[in-house]
Structure 1
Amino acid sequence: MSVERQVSGGQGGPAVRRRSRWLALMVLAGSQLLIVLDATIVNVALADISADLRFTPASLQWVITAYTLAFGGFLLLGGRLADRLGRRRVFVAGVGVFTAASLLGGFAASQGLLIAARAAQGFGAAVMAPAALSLLLVVFPAGRDRTIALGVWAGVTAGGTAIGLILGGLLTQGLSWPWVFWINVPIGLAATVPARRLLPAAPGRATARLDIAGLVTGTGGLVALVLGLVRTVDFGWDSGHTLVPLALAAVLLTAFGVLQKTRPAPLIPLRVLRNRTVLGADLVGLIFGTSIYALFYFLSLFMAGTLGYGPIRIGLAFLPLTIAIAIAARFAGVLIARTGPRPMPIAGSLLIAIGLALLIRIAPGSSYLGTVFPPLVLAGVGMGLAFVALTSASVAGVAPSDSGIAAALFNAGQQIGGTLGLAVLTAASTARAKAITGDEASSAGWAFGFGVAAAIMLVGAYLSITMVKPEHVVAGDENK
């Protein structure tokens, strides 16, 4: 049979040629690389940016916060726009905004312009992320090829973090800080130019009413929530800088919940949240975000503060995690064919919990090979096994017209979980470190953070057992 044979588009999309699907995957994976890359690549250049544009320590944090706020806050809007206007159209628009903002960021000659460019990057990422994941699930119907595609997606997601640290160091040291923004331009163009030819043009619902009140309260609530959580790191939990946005988030998100029950065309249809498997996948995704952010954050601090690693070496030290994720995700398809998909999130959550628990052993005299490498590999295998089934479960039984918002919820869960987890675990780690004197204080604090993250991951395993039951996803009837 020719490799050019037609393949069903899955979630209501048109048929896509088999060979073209893999080219489409390269386009979609490139967009995901853009999003993940910018979560870390700019961090390495912050010192040079601060010196060049004369940032104060207080204002410099907005180079990171502006991106986080816009990305986390506008995900629901991005998902609904994909459903309403068409996934491909919104995807191309999101990549275009992100690429243009990256170009602008590199040329920024003032603090305000750079922060605005970072916010625009976050908005572009929020628009393209749900559309990209939804398109991937359309292009690859349930089965072996989808498993492979999700394995690639998982590898890019994990690898982008490490690649960002390595590239950030190389570009900053070898060229100058604007290149950490300009590197996005060729990647963005490579994703945009072939998108119209390779990605299916599934129509949106342009006549559907847009829930403006839901958009305002939902987006505003998420922005306020992320802002409040980010501020806990600098101001603590009892400061007005933290409490005011958190209180505003509580009011707006409560209003959002009430509106979603009463609006004729809500931003998040209740039928999506009534799907127990979808809700379970979103909750486990939130917990994954909490634990994985903690893994990267505390290990980076340990490797820099205790092992004396620089940014490039830290990035290289995370590569075993990336490789383990890619290999495990590749073999997840074989295991799913034999056992069904349900054991994968359970086994993955437990392996991540074990990996985090093993990192409790870190101390001033610890070595990378003896203390860090084995838990990294274990956690990577767990992430690779769980990601494929969880991603499919996040849209299981969802109608094609709701796939964008379902993908947005899955992405938002990971983003909010990561921000919330970092705030809570950093506070716990700091409190533990202050209770101990001597050279072991910092390591003891990080170790405590790993222990709490491991316990949280066990909750993810429990939710995987009780809520995530994606057997029907593999059968290919997720929209029936």
Structure 2
Amino acid sequence: MSTSVETASGQQEQTGSSRNLMLALVVIASAQLMIVLDASIVNIALPHIQSDLGFTDANRQWVVTAYALAFGSLLLLGGRLGDLFGRRRMFFWGVVLFAVASLLGGIAPNEELLLASRGLQGAGAALASPAALALINTTFPAGKERNRAMAVYAAMSGAGAAVGLILGGVLTEIDWRWTFFVNVPIGLLVAALAPRYLVESEGRDATVDVPGAVVGTAGLFGIVYGLSHAAEQGASWGDWQTLVPLIGGIALLGLFVLVEQRAKHPLLPMRILGDRNRAVSLFAMLLVGAGMFGMFFFLGLFIQQVLGYSPVKAGLSLLPFSVGIAIGAGIASNLLSRVDPRWIAGSGGLLAAFGMWGYTHLTVDSTYVSGLLPWIVVQSIGMAFLFIPLTMTSTARISANDSGAAASALNTAQQIGGAVGVAALSTVFSSAATDKGKELMAQVMQQAQAKGLPAPHTAAEKAAAAKQFQAQYGPEIQTFASTQGFWVAAGMLLIGAIATFIFLNVKHEELATDGQEAVHVG
């Protein structure tokens, strides 16, 4: 009788523990989805935000870049704060800050306040996201349970961009401001549940690496600002506002490495990057983030401004990406117990690059079914095959004390990759659009001269001619420029795939026994 009671009690305890683990995963995954989708949710709303608040074509990218830049440049600090003061605490305050910043973005009356709110959103995400990943490492036992939790987390990271576009389309039909307001109730609910279902990590008696935080953040900002300025209409790579930030940013990142090597409690311990497999994983994730964020940025504009889709239809047109990510994540998660990560991630990189190559064939006459859908499906599965193993290998065999820093390094690679990707591909887009515009304008002028038509002289005539030219040739210019950006993005993904095949050397058995002690939620 006693044995039966004890058995029943043990089963009940195990069931309760499993239920709490599942709820903990729901809380973490919800926060990660909210954070990642906010990097893309405004892409569909960009044309409406631009016309409502008066953004120029050159400045509109900052609505996306400001978030990615703040997020990526502060992630290292956010991860270390979680290690020092408690990951659940940083997760909670990060989500709260994110919700408050979203409210400010929703009520923003001008572009200055909107960009400031995007920066605050990024800061909140920088606190919450590395804490979320580190909590998975310390909450779920190594093996099947942690692999499944990691797969869900990585799927949220991969599908979040597509979900953001879908949700952004639906909400933009109501009002673009709802793309910000929607985060408020979700964020507050996640913050309320976090203390109940997430286990707090032990804090450490150490100081924050302020010099490393300042130098690292300034270096990352300089690089992205320089690339963004080069993307502006009429800007040149030889312009001092491009060169000075770029050179200064690179120099500051070099100084950051020196500061971290000498710091007693470094923001990013160099031993994390000293592991070859982790360094390769972070490098590949950097390129994946660059390609993916750039792809969504250009596809969102192409679908609306060339295909002429409404915001809702544009968002729904990317639903297959989310479905493909979910299917690919399930397959990749199962394969990880039998296949080494390099083969999964490398194959995923090739598939993703192939899908990106497909977009380079877009024309103004392309249709969604034949011109976009097949490549969206191929790329989504490839992205899932990249995200799942790279998330695992970047945090494998890491000590509990460094798990927050490792998690923040992974997120930094993805977000800075996204910021640099949007800026760099916008530079490619801008240059290609300028060249194509000049080519078409020369053809129009030759045709006008051949027909004996007078050239416009007055300001009104020139404005009318420019408007007519844009209406007639704008979609062709945008499509051509977008395809040039897709070529570069495909190259980025291909390099990531090759690097993964050659240098990543983690055995699948190591992912199930990484030596970390899991803290069970009970």
Does 1:416 find its partner at 2:425? no
Measured against aligned partners, the alpha-carbon deviations of 1:182-210 in whole angstroms (never above 9, x if no partner) come to 211111122111111211111121x1232
Q: Which amino acid aligns with 1:92?
A: F
Distance 1:140 1:361, change over 3 A: same
Measured against aligned partners, the alpha-carbon deviations of 1:260-283 in whole angstroms (never above 9, x if no partner) come to 222232221121111111111100
Q: Which amino acid aligns with 1:295?
A: M
The CA distance in 1 between the partners of 2:479 and 2:51, in whole Å, is: 30
Distance 1:338 1:167, change over 3 A: closer
Structure 2 counterparts to residues 390-401 of structure 1, below 5 A: 390-401=390-401
The residue that corresponds to 1:38 in the other structure is 38
The one of 187, 209, 213 aligned to 2:207: 209
The residue that corresponds to 2:448 in the other structure is none
The CA distance in 2 between the partners of 1:447 and 1:186, in whole Å, is: 38
The CA distance in 2 between the partners of 1:348 and 1:60, in whole Å, is: 31
Distance 1:42 1:140, change over 3 A: same
Asked whether the equivalents of residues 162 and 316 of structure 1 are also in contact (C-alpha less than 8 Å), the reply is no
The CA distance in 2 between the partners of 1:302 and 1:239, in whole Å, is: 29
The CA distance in 1 between the partners of 2:47 and 2:367, in whole Å, is: 28
Of 310-319 and 142-151, deviating more is: 142-151
Aligned-pair distance for 1:415? 1.5
Structure 2 counterparts to residues 85-164 of structure 1, below 5 A: 85-109=85-109, 112-164=112-164
Measured against aligned partners, the alpha-carbon deviations of 1:36-56 in whole angstroms (never above 9, x if no partner) come to 232233344456556666667
Aligned-pair distance for 1:430? 4.2
Aligned-pair distance for 1:348? 0.7
Aligned-pair distance for 1:413? 0.9
Q: Which amino acid aligns with 2:486?
A: F
- Partner of 2:336, secondary structure, is helix
The one of 475, 492, 504 aligned to 1:468: 504
- Partner of 2:388, secondary structure, is helix
Larger Rg: 2
The residue that corresponds to 1:12 in the other structure is none
Q: Which amino acid aligns with 1:345?
A: A
The residue that corresponds to 1:181 in the other structure is 180
Measured against aligned partners, the alpha-carbon deviations of 1:230-285 in whole angstroms (never above 9, x if no partner) come to 33321343333322322331232121111122223222112111111111110010
Q: Which amino acid aligns with 1:156?
A: M
Distance 1:328 1:200, change over 3 A: same
Does 1:309 find its partner at 2:309? yes
Q: Tell me the matched-pair count.
A: 469
Measured against aligned partners, the alpha-carbon deviations of 1:15-36 in whole angstroms (never above 9, x if no partner) come to x922211111111111112212
- Normalising to structure 2: TM-score of the pair? 0.82
Distance 1:130 1:433, change over 3 A: same
Aligned-pair distance for 1:61? 5.9
Distance 1:382 1:478, change over 3 A: farther
Of 466-475 and 178-187, deviating more is: 466-475
Q: Which amino acid aligns with 2:202?
A: P
The CA distance in 2 between the partners of 1:155 and 1:262, in whole Å, is: 37
Measured against aligned partners, the alpha-carbon deviations of 1:205-236 in whole angstroms (never above 9, x if no partner) come to 1x123222111111222222232233332134
The CA distance in 2 between the partners of 1:450 and 1:108, in whole Å, is: 33
Aligned-pair distance for 1:63? 4.5
Measured against aligned partners, the alpha-carbon deviations of 1:93-128 in whole angstroms (never above 9, x if no partner) come to 111111122223334455544443332211101111
The residue that corresponds to 2:337 in the other structure is 337
* Unmatched runs of 5 consecutive residues or more in structure 1: 7-15
Distance 1:218 1:311, change over 3 A: same
Aligned-pair distance for 1:133? 1.3
Q: Which amino acid aligns with 2:278?
A: V
The CA distance in 1 between the partners of 2:307 and 2:58, in whole Å, is: 28
Pairwise CA RMSD of aligned residues? 2.6
- Partner of 1:337, secondary structure, is coil
- Partner of 1:208, secondary structure, is coil
Distance 1:369 1:103, change over 3 A: same
Asked whether the equivalents of residues 79 and 404 of structure 2 are also in contact (C-alpha less than 8 Å), the reply is yes
The one of 226, 251, 254 aligned to 2:224: 226
- Normalising to structure 1: TM-score of the pair? 0.89
- Partner of 2:395, secondary structure, is coil
Q: Which amino acid aligns with 2:220?
A: L
Asked whether the equivalents of residues 359 and 372 of structure 2 are also in contact (C-alpha less than 8 Å), the reply is yes
Measured against aligned partners, the alpha-carbon deviations of 1:299-326 in whole angstroms (never above 9, x if no partner) come to 2333233322222222111111111111
Q: Which amino acid aligns with 1:140?
A: F
Q: Which amino acid aligns with 2:14?
A: R
The residue that corresponds to 2:282 in the other structure is 282
Q: Which amino acid aligns with 1:469?
A: N
The CA distance in 2 between the partners of 1:457 and 1:55, in whole Å, is: 31
